[in-house]
Structure 1
């Protein structure tokens, strides 16, 4: 009997749920105890969850639930699963990507052979259009990195193990890096980006962090009791962004823009700006307050809004916009068909 046949035989003997002593295995396969120990180590290295108990009544057995009955899927169910997997692959970064790949291989091995062809033809049958770049909202596009995958995988492991995580979060607008100690709660995917939601230990608030801005994430040795009342669904629909904006208003400078009611209605439908503060102004216009003074965010917004929008502050951005508009006016006003404004 070769080592592979013996390992398979050991695997079958350990499926009964009872502890099987190493001496029984050695006698059954006519090998030494040292050989049985090596075989068990080989099974564990391959990912087989072998439980070991020491002592006179000890031995080995498979972890409960490791071997499952065959998966019986209809052809339509297989096609639905195929579409779901294609959607996941369209995301450039997914939680526990390596584990997802191995799980897919195990699932494929458990399916009837007559549906294997569907999985092999996945790319030919199902196509997912990548989410296009959002060139209006700067900073909403990010390229996958090792740090991004590490943050996503580590955060998910923290959720599964109920252990805190520590990491550094980069704030590009402030050009700062801040350390965080967080109890992971969940992850969410929005506009081609992954976000990490967890209770900040320092503030006792559930905060949301962009995964691509997280660096050096480590899983702590500190365990926590999961909040059974929490659901990531409570943060969807832009709820997380609205809460974040209220916090940013306390820490960031505020840009103020006077806009027309029609422009306010347009921005009220935007995924980002609809969470800003809209206040009626005396002249019938609307004052929108945005917790950011980044020129790459505010100036493109005012240019896009066009006539009827007036940047009130900060003064430095207002002066920069005035210079830019003056330069544009010098190009477009030729003095022949239109009167140049005073």
Structure 2
């Protein structure tokens, strides 16, 4: 019997809960007391809580309640735990990191084969975006609601079961919600919001949806084959937002603002506006284009940029900007 087999046998003998002396173990395995001491030290080094009591009646035993009955987790419960682990890992530091790594490895090792193929590499489908600088744009906070939770849960069910989901997406820039039929591929957490990544079944495009803007989510009976090449990490670092900006530019009207290069440089530090379009306008100025004509977004941005910024389009917002500046000048005694 080698040392590994003997250590395992000692562990089995100690599972009864009673004290077993080193002399008894040495006699049982026909080795020296020194060898038994080394075997017990090996078990302790592996994280097994072996307790020792001194004295004539002393010996070894396992810590009480060390061996727990197996816990059977279903696919959704496992995904929920792995998502939580990914969220915790986004922190710069966290307590007991090595224990967290060990717990995750054990959790993944316990998965049945069909689920292991999907969740064995959790980072492929679950991404957590580190919080970047936010110098101006702060309109991403949303209070959790039942609709938000239902959207996230429904999307995850579709992802885990490889079934398409249907839902209505509410875009504040559009007058009415639009129905979508999507094959879920991953979820992403960014600036206190969950985003859902899926392939639109009508256009075939990979799109990102804010979970808090989804209503009436329904997991359909249509099954699809997950794309093995998809990785949520490819959408991190704002890549998903750059792709969305280019699509939004084609789908609807945009605002155009002329500004100095210094102002443009400041604006590109913002996590959101850095992904908008910027083109040169002479040696000292840039034209900034944003696929939005919401007064609540555009007018405060122009005021924040300052006197060297000029709102070029749309015309109705330009007129509103002029009225706002006249009122501000009046209030400030100009």
Interval of TM-score (by shorter of Structure 1 and Structure 2): 0.5 to 0.7
Asked if the contact 1:136–1:300 (Cα under 8 Å) also holds between the matched residues in 2, the reply is no
1:285/1:135 CA distance change after superposition, 3 Å = closer
Which residue is 1:295 aligned to?
295
- Give the aligned CA root-mean-square deviation in angstroms: 2.9
Which residue is 1:79 aligned to?
96
Matches within 5 A, 1:212-251: 212-251=212-251
1:78/1:326 CA distance change after superposition, 3 Å = closer
Q: Report the TM-score when normalising by structure 2.
A: 0.61
Cα drift, residue 135 of structure 1: 9.8
Cα drift, residue 176 of structure 1: 1.7
Partner of 2:177, secondary structure, is strand
1:201/1:327 CA distance change after superposition, 3 Å = same
Cα drift, residue 82 of structure 1: 8.6
For 1:263 and 1:316, how far apart are their aligned partners in 2? 23
Matches within 5 A, 1:76-155: 79-80=96-97, 136-137=136-137, 139-155=139-155
Which residue is 1:111 aligned to?
none
Q: Report the TM-score when normalising by structure 1.
A: 0.59
For 1:182 and 1:78, how far apart are their aligned partners in 2? 38
Question: Where has structure 1 moved over 3 Å in runs of 4 or more?
Answer: 47-50, 81-84
For 1:135 and 1:281, how far apart are their aligned partners in 2? 24
Asked if the contact 2:136–2:270 (Cα under 8 Å) also holds between the matched residues in 1, the reply is no
Matches within 5 A, 1:1-342: 79-80=96-97, 136-137=136-137, 139-282=139-282, 284-333=284-333
What are structure 2's unaligned runs of at least 5 residues?
1-70, 75-93, 108-130
Query: How many pairs are equivalent?
Result: 220
Which residue is 1:336 aligned to?
none
Cα drift, residue 83 of structure 1: 8.6
Q: Note the alpha carbon deviations across 1:117-174, whole angstroms, 9 max, x for none.
A: xxxxxxxxxxxxxx9xx79436411110111111111111111111111111001121
Higher relative contact order (CA 8 A, sep 6+): 2
What are structure 1's unaligned runs of at least 5 residues?
1-46, 51-76, 85-102, 108-130, 334-339
Asked if the contact 2:165–2:217 (Cα under 8 Å) also holds between the matched residues in 1, the reply is yes
